[in-house]
Amino acid sequence: MSGSAPAILLKEDRGSVRILKLNRPERRNALDDALRAAVVTEVRAAQADPSVRAIVLTGEGPKAFSAGADINALLLRTPRETMDLFSDERIDIVIERCAKPVVAAINGYAFGGGLEVALSCAVRIASENASVAFPEVNLGIFPAMGGTQRLPRIVGVGRAIEMILTGRILPAREALEFGIVSKVVPQDRLLGEAVALAESIVSKGPMAVRLAKDAILTGYGMTIEEGLRYENRLAAVAMGTKDKKEGLVAFLEKRSPVFTGE
Protein backbone atom coordinates (compact mmCIF):
# COMPACT_ATOMS: atom_id res chain seq x y z
CA MET A 1 0.00 0.00 0.00
CA SER A 2 1.14 3.53 -0.68
CA GLY A 3 -0.14 7.06 -0.39
CA SER A 4 -0.47 9.78 2.18
CA ALA A 5 -3.36 8.32 4.17
CA PRO A 6 -2.74 7.88 7.88
CA ALA A 7 -1.70 4.45 9.14
CA ILE A 8 -5.21 3.70 10.39
CA LEU A 9 -6.45 3.91 6.79
CA LEU A 10 -4.47 2.37 3.95
CA LYS A 11 -4.84 3.57 0.37
CA GLU A 12 -4.03 2.00 -2.99
CA ASP A 13 -4.98 2.90 -6.56
CA ARG A 14 -5.65 0.23 -9.16
CA GLY A 15 -6.23 2.16 -12.33
CA SER A 16 -9.23 4.39 -11.74
CA VAL A 17 -10.35 2.43 -8.65
CA ARG A 18 -9.18 3.62 -5.24
CA ILE A 19 -8.99 1.01 -2.48
CA LEU A 20 -9.39 2.19 1.11
CA LYS A 21 -8.63 -0.28 3.91
CA LEU A 22 -9.66 0.24 7.51
CA ASN A 23 -6.43 -0.57 9.30
CA ARG A 24 -7.00 -1.37 12.96
CA PRO A 25 -6.86 -5.19 12.69
CA GLU A 26 -5.86 -5.56 16.32
CA ARG A 27 -9.22 -3.97 17.22
CA ARG A 28 -11.14 -5.72 14.45
CA ASN A 29 -11.08 -2.40 12.56
CA ALA A 30 -13.34 -0.78 15.15
CA LEU A 31 -14.51 2.71 14.19
CA ASP A 32 -13.11 5.31 16.54
CA ASP A 33 -13.30 9.05 15.85
CA ALA A 34 -9.92 9.12 14.12
CA LEU A 35 -10.76 6.30 11.71
CA ARG A 36 -14.16 7.75 10.85
CA ALA A 37 -12.55 11.13 10.16
CA ALA A 38 -9.86 9.51 8.01
CA VAL A 39 -12.48 7.72 5.89
CA VAL A 40 -14.45 10.95 5.43
CA THR A 41 -11.28 12.79 4.37
CA GLU A 42 -10.23 10.13 1.88
CA VAL A 43 -13.69 9.67 0.36
CA ARG A 44 -13.89 13.44 -0.13
CA ALA A 45 -10.41 13.39 -1.70
CA ALA A 46 -11.36 10.54 -4.05
CA GLN A 47 -14.49 12.39 -5.09
CA ALA A 48 -12.41 15.46 -5.96
CA ASP A 49 -9.72 13.48 -7.81
CA PRO A 50 -10.56 13.20 -11.53
CA SER A 51 -8.33 10.13 -11.88
CA VAL A 52 -10.55 8.19 -9.45
CA ARG A 53 -13.82 6.85 -10.80
CA ALA A 54 -14.86 4.42 -8.05
CA ILE A 55 -13.90 3.41 -4.51
CA VAL A 56 -13.58 0.01 -2.84
CA LEU A 57 -13.84 0.03 0.96
CA THR A 58 -12.66 -2.98 2.94
CA GLY A 59 -10.93 -3.96 6.17
CA GLU A 60 -7.32 -4.99 6.71
CA GLY A 61 -6.85 -8.59 7.74
CA PRO A 62 -9.11 -11.63 7.26
CA LYS A 63 -11.15 -11.30 10.46
CA ALA A 64 -13.12 -8.09 10.10
CA PHE A 65 -14.45 -5.45 7.75
CA SER A 66 -15.28 -3.58 10.95
CA ALA A 67 -16.58 -4.94 14.23
CA GLY A 68 -18.36 -1.64 14.87
CA ALA A 69 -17.88 1.33 17.13
CA ASP A 70 -15.15 1.49 19.73
CA ILE A 71 -16.89 0.33 22.94
CA ASN A 72 -14.75 2.50 25.22
CA ALA A 73 -15.76 5.57 23.20
CA LEU A 74 -19.43 4.59 23.38
CA LEU A 75 -19.19 4.25 27.14
CA LEU A 76 -18.13 7.90 27.44
CA ARG A 77 -20.49 9.35 24.81
CA THR A 78 -23.21 11.68 26.14
CA PRO A 79 -26.68 12.34 24.70
CA ARG A 80 -25.53 15.79 23.54
CA GLU A 81 -22.47 14.33 21.80
CA THR A 82 -24.72 11.79 20.09
CA MET A 83 -26.97 14.56 18.79
CA ASP A 84 -23.94 16.48 17.54
CA LEU A 85 -22.75 13.47 15.52
CA PHE A 86 -25.52 14.01 12.97
CA SER A 87 -24.14 16.18 10.19
CA ASP A 88 -23.24 16.14 6.53
CA GLU A 89 -19.76 15.06 7.65
CA ARG A 90 -20.95 11.81 9.27
CA ILE A 91 -19.15 8.86 7.69
CA ASP A 92 -22.24 7.03 6.40
CA ILE A 93 -23.72 10.19 4.88
CA VAL A 94 -20.46 11.13 3.15
CA ILE A 95 -20.14 7.62 1.68
CA GLU A 96 -23.77 7.43 0.56
CA ARG A 97 -23.70 10.88 -1.04
CA CYS A 98 -20.35 10.38 -2.76
CA ALA A 99 -20.78 11.15 -6.45
CA LYS A 100 -18.56 8.17 -7.25
CA PRO A 101 -19.80 4.66 -6.41
CA VAL A 102 -18.38 3.02 -3.30
CA VAL A 103 -18.20 -0.79 -3.22
CA ALA A 104 -17.96 -2.49 0.18
CA ALA A 105 -15.83 -5.65 0.24
CA ILE A 106 -16.92 -7.30 3.50
CA ASN A 107 -14.19 -9.54 4.86
CA GLY A 108 -15.07 -11.17 8.17
CA TYR A 109 -17.22 -9.34 10.73
CA ALA A 110 -19.37 -6.37 9.79
CA PHE A 111 -21.12 -5.62 13.04
CA GLY A 112 -22.91 -2.53 14.35
CA GLY A 113 -21.34 0.61 12.96
CA GLY A 114 -19.29 -1.50 10.58
CA LEU A 115 -22.44 -2.86 8.98
CA GLU A 116 -23.93 0.63 8.92
CA VAL A 117 -20.91 1.87 6.95
CA ALA A 118 -21.29 -1.07 4.55
CA LEU A 119 -25.00 -0.33 4.09
CA SER A 120 -24.16 3.24 3.08
CA CYS A 121 -22.06 1.92 0.18
CA ALA A 122 -23.65 1.64 -3.25
CA VAL A 123 -22.88 -2.08 -3.59
CA ARG A 124 -21.76 -4.79 -1.15
CA ILE A 125 -20.09 -8.13 -1.72
CA ALA A 126 -18.77 -10.51 0.94
CA SER A 127 -16.24 -13.25 1.48
CA GLU A 128 -17.44 -16.70 2.48
CA ASN A 129 -16.20 -16.16 6.03
CA ALA A 130 -18.08 -12.87 6.45
CA SER A 131 -20.91 -12.32 8.90
CA VAL A 132 -23.15 -9.34 9.59
CA ALA A 133 -25.15 -8.24 12.61
CA PHE A 134 -26.58 -5.38 14.60
CA PRO A 135 -25.78 -6.54 18.16
CA GLU A 136 -26.37 -3.14 19.80
CA VAL A 137 -29.47 -4.25 21.73
CA ASN A 138 -27.18 -6.55 23.73
CA LEU A 139 -25.47 -3.38 24.98
CA GLY A 140 -28.64 -1.43 25.79
CA ILE A 141 -28.46 0.75 22.67
CA PHE A 142 -29.59 0.36 19.06
CA PRO A 143 -28.01 0.94 15.62
CA ALA A 144 -28.29 4.69 15.12
CA MET A 145 -25.91 5.52 12.30
CA GLY A 146 -28.47 4.72 9.62
CA GLY A 147 -29.06 1.09 10.58
CA THR A 148 -32.74 1.44 11.42
CA GLN A 149 -33.31 3.42 8.22
CA ARG A 150 -31.20 1.77 5.52
CA LEU A 151 -31.65 -1.86 6.56
CA PRO A 152 -35.48 -1.89 6.15
CA ARG A 153 -35.09 -0.29 2.73
CA ILE A 154 -32.76 -3.11 1.69
CA VAL A 155 -34.23 -6.22 3.34
CA GLY A 156 -37.78 -5.17 4.20
CA VAL A 157 -39.28 -4.09 7.51
CA GLY A 158 -39.92 -7.59 8.89
CA ARG A 159 -36.41 -8.88 8.42
CA ALA A 160 -34.92 -5.60 9.64
CA ILE A 161 -36.94 -5.75 12.86
CA GLU A 162 -35.85 -9.34 13.45
CA MET A 163 -32.17 -8.53 12.89
CA ILE A 164 -32.14 -5.39 15.02
CA LEU A 165 -34.29 -6.60 17.91
CA THR A 166 -32.55 -9.98 18.28
CA GLY A 167 -29.00 -8.93 17.41
CA ARG A 168 -28.73 -12.20 15.48
CA ILE A 169 -25.55 -12.84 13.48
CA LEU A 170 -26.11 -13.68 9.81
CA PRO A 171 -23.43 -15.69 7.97
CA ALA A 172 -22.49 -14.59 4.46
CA ARG A 173 -24.93 -16.88 2.64
CA GLU A 174 -27.86 -15.68 4.73
CA ALA A 175 -26.78 -12.07 4.17
CA LEU A 176 -26.94 -12.87 0.44
CA GLU A 177 -30.42 -14.37 0.84
CA PHE A 178 -31.56 -11.24 2.72
CA GLY A 179 -30.17 -9.00 -0.03
CA ILE A 180 -27.64 -7.30 2.25
CA VAL A 181 -24.87 -8.37 -0.13
CA SER A 182 -25.19 -9.08 -3.84
CA LYS A 183 -22.46 -11.70 -4.08
CA VAL A 184 -20.43 -14.08 -1.90
CA VAL A 185 -16.95 -15.14 -3.05
CA PRO A 186 -13.99 -17.08 -1.63
CA GLN A 187 -11.96 -15.03 0.80
CA ASP A 188 -8.85 -14.95 -1.39
CA ARG A 189 -10.84 -13.53 -4.30
CA LEU A 190 -12.80 -10.87 -2.42
CA LEU A 191 -10.69 -7.80 -3.16
CA GLY A 192 -10.16 -8.78 -6.79
CA GLU A 193 -13.89 -9.32 -7.28
CA ALA A 194 -14.68 -5.98 -5.62
CA VAL A 195 -12.21 -4.16 -7.87
CA ALA A 196 -13.62 -5.95 -10.93
CA LEU A 197 -17.12 -4.90 -9.92
CA ALA A 198 -15.96 -1.31 -9.47
CA GLU A 199 -14.21 -1.41 -12.85
CA SER A 200 -17.42 -2.64 -14.47
CA ILE A 201 -19.25 0.42 -13.10
CA VAL A 202 -16.35 2.68 -14.11
CA SER A 203 -16.68 1.53 -17.73
CA LYS A 204 -20.17 3.05 -17.91
CA GLY A 205 -21.08 6.68 -18.45
CA PRO A 206 -19.98 8.57 -15.30
CA MET A 207 -22.85 11.05 -15.44
CA ALA A 208 -25.36 8.28 -16.04
CA VAL A 209 -24.04 6.34 -13.05
CA ARG A 210 -24.14 9.43 -10.83
CA LEU A 211 -27.64 10.46 -11.90
CA ALA A 212 -29.06 6.93 -11.66
CA LYS A 213 -27.67 6.53 -8.14
CA ASP A 214 -29.20 9.88 -7.18
CA ALA A 215 -32.56 8.91 -8.69
CA ILE A 216 -32.63 5.64 -6.73
CA LEU A 217 -31.56 7.01 -3.34
CA THR A 218 -33.56 10.23 -3.46
CA GLY A 219 -36.61 8.80 -5.16
CA TYR A 220 -36.92 5.93 -2.69
CA GLY A 221 -38.04 8.32 0.03
CA MET A 222 -40.69 9.92 -2.17
CA THR A 223 -44.14 8.85 -3.24
CA ILE A 224 -44.14 7.01 -6.58
CA GLU A 225 -45.44 10.12 -8.36
CA GLU A 226 -42.79 12.36 -6.80
CA GLY A 227 -40.14 9.77 -7.59
CA LEU A 228 -41.20 9.53 -11.23
CA ARG A 229 -41.06 13.30 -11.58
CA TYR A 230 -37.60 13.41 -9.97
CA GLU A 231 -36.41 10.60 -12.24
CA ASN A 232 -37.72 12.51 -15.27
CA ARG A 233 -35.82 15.66 -14.27
CA LEU A 234 -32.56 13.74 -13.93
CA ALA A 235 -33.21 11.97 -17.24
CA ALA A 236 -33.50 15.39 -18.87
CA VAL A 237 -30.10 16.30 -17.42
CA ALA A 238 -28.61 13.07 -18.81
CA MET A 239 -30.03 13.83 -22.26
CA GLY A 240 -28.02 17.06 -22.37
CA THR A 241 -24.63 15.48 -21.66
CA LYS A 242 -21.76 14.81 -24.05
CA ASP A 243 -21.62 11.27 -22.64
CA LYS A 244 -25.15 10.60 -23.88
CA LYS A 245 -24.20 11.54 -27.43
CA GLU A 246 -20.95 9.57 -27.25
CA GLY A 247 -22.69 6.47 -25.87
CA LEU A 248 -25.39 6.43 -28.54
CA VAL A 249 -23.04 7.22 -31.43
CA ALA A 250 -20.59 4.55 -30.25
CA PHE A 251 -23.43 2.02 -30.16
CA LEU A 252 -24.44 2.87 -33.74
CA GLU A 253 -20.82 2.73 -34.88
CA LYS A 254 -20.31 -0.61 -33.10
CA ARG A 255 -17.37 0.60 -31.02
CA SER A 256 -16.62 1.08 -27.34
CA PRO A 257 -17.63 4.54 -26.04
CA VAL A 258 -15.06 6.95 -24.69
CA PHE A 259 -16.83 8.72 -21.86
CA THR A 260 -15.51 11.97 -20.40
CA GLY A 261 -18.00 12.53 -17.57
CA GLU A 262 -19.39 15.62 -19.29
**Element containing residue 110 per DSSP (H, E):** strand 109-111
Out of 42, 60, 96, 116, pick the active-site residue: 116
Amino acid 145 reads M
Q: Which of 42, 60, 96, 136 is the catalytic position?
A: 136
Which residues pair with residue 103 across a beta bridge?
Answer: 56, 123
Secondary element (H or E) of residue 21: strand 17-22
136 is catalytic: yes
3-state secondary structure of 6: coil
Is position 116 annotated as part of the catalytic site?
A: yes
- Helix axes of 206-219 and 242-252: crossing angle, nearest 10 degrees: 120
Task: Kindly report the backbone phi and psi dihedral angles of residue 103, in degrees, each rounded to the nearest multiple of 5, phi listed first.
Answer: -105, 125
Q: CA-CA distance, 95 to 54, in Å (whole number)? A: 12
**Cα separation of 106 and 27, whole Å?**
16
Give every strand in the sheet of 9-14, ordered side by side. Answer: 9-14, 17-22, 54-59, 102-106, 123-127, 183-185
Give me the active site residues, please: 116, 136
